[in-house]
Structure 1
């Protein structure tokens, strides 16, 4: 009775708060609702971790469906496997978008049709270098210098007689056409100049050949079409404002972005770029006009990585998340790290999370990472991480009055992440799989 009274007191205390977020029922007393303080949960970053099949997606869905009920909720959910982009995960306050696939590139009004392009002109100098430059090339310094100079020239041409004339830098997100840059780089690579004894090779002769080849490959690679195959629509100066409204407008609620068809080798750069744009816009907003936004990072171990071995693309993407983890709170940007392998998630980012929802973790390395991040006075509550039932979690942090063991309520909107019943399907009377459809999609690189 005393325990029941205690749990009910905790429950009612949190429910009386300004921003109660219901997560489930306490394991100790299933009649008491387990609330978290929604403000505190998002203010100082959070992590939702759990092995595959532990109920992690249900937990995310449970939180998202409550966020979506708020009038001006504002969040981006990076959906890596397309599990939150299905018809079962739709509802008022949730909008679903996808990164453009090769079959989307020729369509008009992409933003109005929930298709996102990520134009190359959004890349800053560092990101362009990571994507296009081979640092092992002895001519890399010359390539970087001339390329950035030509990019700035093209950007400046597009802002002549505008309020931005003569004040932009190579990092300014100004639309420009990359093809004239490539033409200029080819000219310099084959340029002959007059010398004392007739014509001789120019100062950059042969030094841009490999760089030009890489740039040409990017421009012709349909997998990268969402970045390099731009139409007139994406080259308009007003496009960035439309794009920002799509990503960050509080009237649009939760924006689920299907990243499942983005090539894995550039996934960290693309997500890092989106995160950087969100953070930068918040940073440059006047504080009284700033509307807070949360970034829900599904499968975060794929792009907020702990160990990056000579991968400049992944490294540059990680920088955005490290900066948001350290400074995002000041500008109204919250991170929610969602991962089945916390041991592979960047420690700098995880250490900034002040709230943890840990479902069952079977791997000892993952358990140890979470235990090290939890307060020392938790006793043996963290020792139960491998014993938790499906959809059962340990919640720790300043969003809850006490560390609690909770059974998460089943969400009304469901992601397509249910565990497949192998034995039952193998015992069915007929096979549902359509291999020719799968092969066709694989060749087209689009479902």
Structure 2
């Protein structure tokens, strides 16, 4: 190739696997090239290059630029390192390499025509997420199939445009009211700050632990949780014998409920303490507490000294005659399990209205005999079976003490249901599901206290692909996300990251030859991302398309200068206190009884006359 070619950059000087060193031509002293009326910045980190190989073209991304300082090498010894990523034959681009370049092969600028060969692919599988940072006329597209089935991660410091990127990406997937959109999408979004309710209102259904007008109440039946997670939440720390006492009682109550109620698909012989069979937690508390406080009289010390039977519905314990010293009795129950402290904690949890969404789950709350008004099929239909493409579970009102258990329980319910129904039309294979996990570092750190959520997400990350369940992990602290989960994310959208620990974790999740791109993360603009992985045709620096202002999440920074420059209008801190106490942002201090009367327009007698 002639060095007079305006696209010519230089020559290959060394090849080490997919890593290629290039000596730059002297004609590039200015760092700018003009080709067919378009101006290109050349030899820029993150830019693309093309290496012709006969009928094929190899494409790579610049990871490093430097100069040797030896004047005898020509052009001041300027060089660059290129990481090869794919090849094209004609108009067909494919990731991976069938061959490597040779020494002195020519290296060229990637023009807009070349970029269109790479990113111009059309089809249902391709979703447009933004434009190239270096050429805003070229759309960046991702493979929807790879994005969902191979999992993904959106990582960026607070203020980098992470939430807006998530909203834009979901809007690009669903493409509401557009021809060729995906109205049958099935996306479950765990929203920890209530940011997305407004942004995705036109194609989502919202469930909240503290519902506002237009939202539905969120219920997660406690009896669908694993026994270990449930007991850890309601009873606190248990030793082995204490855990056995609780587990045996739960198993007994589930077996009793199974004997008096019909639950399709449930074989009594296969019943376990973790089977999703309803049982009354109040009845469980009552019977265990009754056994702990029971006293006996009689010659054989076998006659209960009962004074008041109590009431499980009101969580009133049975009352027995107090035990006395000596041989006269009454006598303590020598078989008691020593779990009275844990039972007191259970009662406290059941009386705490902050946990009603899980311990008193509306129509899913079992009666004392274990019967329920609605079963889990209705819950699943509400979450992932309705006509809207996106379901938002607003967890902003959930106490932090139960957040990890709640997230783990929600994901386990969904995963187990879709896993076991994989051969049915509503299973994950025939109708895949994407689970978007916002603020993932809060419950996926891999620490012991985050075990319930991290365990099921690891299972989704490792096995979900085969059953049509994809994960999208969103976090501002990738260093705190479990390494196993992050390593299973096949596509990474990395926005601005300043913390060196976070950048190191992202670098560890990238292929070895692309680690140099991490050095760009601190200087990315807001809403700009480096996209790498299975869904991207080439590693790319991309400007994510911003949704319309009214469709952006409520995550923007307060306008301090405007707020402080405006004369203060005192509102009264009684309203502040009301919201704090009610744990609802729209709570009011005083309920105003306003009678609204509909006004009907009437035509005056003189109207209509000329």
Provide the TM-score with structure 2 as the length reference. 0.66
Deviates more, 1:124-133 or 1:49-58: 124-133
Counterpart residue number, 1:84: 196
1:34 match: secondary structure: strand
Counterpart residue number, 2:274: 171
Counterpart residue number, 2:149: 43
- Residues 256 and 145 of structure 1: is their aligned pair in 2 closer, same or farther, counting only changes over 3 Å? closer
2:497 match: secondary structure: coil
Larger relative contact order, structure 1 or 2 (CA cutoff 8 Å, min sep 6): 1
More strand by share: 2
Residue 416 of structure 1 and its aligned partner are, at CA, apart by 0.6
1:152 pairs with 2:274? no
Q: Of 48, 68, 76, which residue of structure 1 is paired with 2:174? A: 68
- Residues 57 and 134 of structure 1: is their aligned pair in 2 closer, same or farther, counting only changes over 3 Å? closer
Tell me if structure 1 keeps the 8 A contact 2:496–2:528. yes
Q: Give per-residue Cα distances to partners, 1:62-121, cap 9 Å, x unaligned.
A: 1111233312000111010011123x4311x322221256x99xxxxxxx9621211211
Q: Give per-residue Cα distances to partners, 1:162-202, cap 9 Å, x unaligned.
A: 76462433222222222221111112102345797646433
1:55 pairs with 2:161? yes
In 2, the alpha carbon distance for the partners of 1:250 and 1:326 equals 27
1:437 pairs with 2:547? no
Counterpart residue number, 2:135: 29
Deviates more, 1:243-252 or 1:423-432: 423-432
In 2, the alpha carbon distance for the partners of 1:284 and 1:418 equals 41
Residue 205 of structure 1 and its aligned partner are, at CA, apart by 2.4
1:12 pairs with 2:120? yes
- Residues 286 and 48 of structure 1: is their aligned pair in 2 closer, same or farther, counting only changes over 3 Å? closer
CA RMSD of aligned residues (A): 2.5
Counterpart residue number, 1:109: none
In 2, the alpha carbon distance for the partners of 1:197 and 1:90 equals 69
Q: Of 548, 556, 562, which residue of structure 2 is paired with 1:424? A: 562
1:415 match: secondary structure: coil
Counterpart residue number, 2:17: none
2:489 match: secondary structure: coil
Counterpart residue number, 1:307: 447
1:23 match: secondary structure: strand
Residue 213 of structure 1 and its aligned partner are, at CA, apart by 0.5
Tell me if structure 1 keeps the 8 A contact 2:227–2:247. no
Residue 403 of structure 1 and its aligned partner are, at CA, apart by 0.3
Tell me if structure 1 keeps the 8 A contact 2:185–2:389. yes
- Residues 244 and 197 of structure 1: is their aligned pair in 2 closer, same or farther, counting only changes over 3 Å? closer
In 1, the alpha carbon distance for the partners of 2:173 and 2:576 equals 35
In 2, the alpha carbon distance for the partners of 1:351 and 1:340 equals 16
Q: Give per-residue Cα distances to partners, 1:115-159, cap 9 Å, x unaligned.
A: 121121111222223223444557524433443334334433442
Rg larger in structure: 2
- Residues 246 and 404 of structure 1: is their aligned pair in 2 closer, same or farther, counting only changes over 3 Å? same
Gaps spanning 5+ residues in structure 2: where? 1-34, 36-109, 176-181, 303-330, 367-371, 586-610
Q: Give per-residue Cα distances to partners, 1:283-328, cap 9 Å, x unaligned.
A: 11142522210110000001111334xx3xx222221111111111
Q: Of 429, 433, 437, which residue of structure 2 is paired with 1:297? A: 437
- Residues 286 and 52 of structure 1: is their aligned pair in 2 closer, same or farther, counting only changes over 3 Å? closer
- Residues 327 and 208 of structure 1: is their aligned pair in 2 closer, same or farther, counting only changes over 3 Å? same
Tell me if structure 1 keeps the 8 A contact 2:221–2:364. no
- Residues 279 and 136 of structure 1: is their aligned pair in 2 closer, same or farther, counting only changes over 3 Å? closer
- Residues 40 and 432 of structure 1: is their aligned pair in 2 closer, same or farther, counting only changes over 3 Å? farther
Residue 206 of structure 1 and its aligned partner are, at CA, apart by 6.0
Residue 45 of structure 1 and its aligned partner are, at CA, apart by 0.5
Counterpart residue number, 1:94: 204
Gaps spanning 5+ residues in structure 1: where? 105-111
Counterpart residue number, 1:187: 290
Q: Of 480, 484, 488, which residue of structure 2 is paired with 1:344? A: 480
1:217 pairs with 2:320? no
Residue 255 of structure 1 and its aligned partner are, at CA, apart by 0.4
Tell me if structure 2 keeps the 8 A contact 1:78–1:258. yes
- Residues 94 and 430 of structure 1: is their aligned pair in 2 closer, same or farther, counting only changes over 3 Å? same
- Residues 129 and 206 of structure 1: is their aligned pair in 2 closer, same or farther, counting only changes over 3 Å? closer
Residue 334 of structure 1 and its aligned partner are, at CA, apart by 0.5
More helix by share: 1
Counterpart residue number, 1:398: 534
Residue 214 of structure 1 and its aligned partner are, at CA, apart by 1.4
Q: Give per-residue Cα distances to partners, 1:386-430, cap 9 Å, x unaligned.
A: 010110100000111110000111113211111212122211233
Tell me if structure 2 keeps the 8 A contact 1:98–1:116. yes
In 2, the alpha carbon distance for the partners of 1:161 and 1:370 equals 46
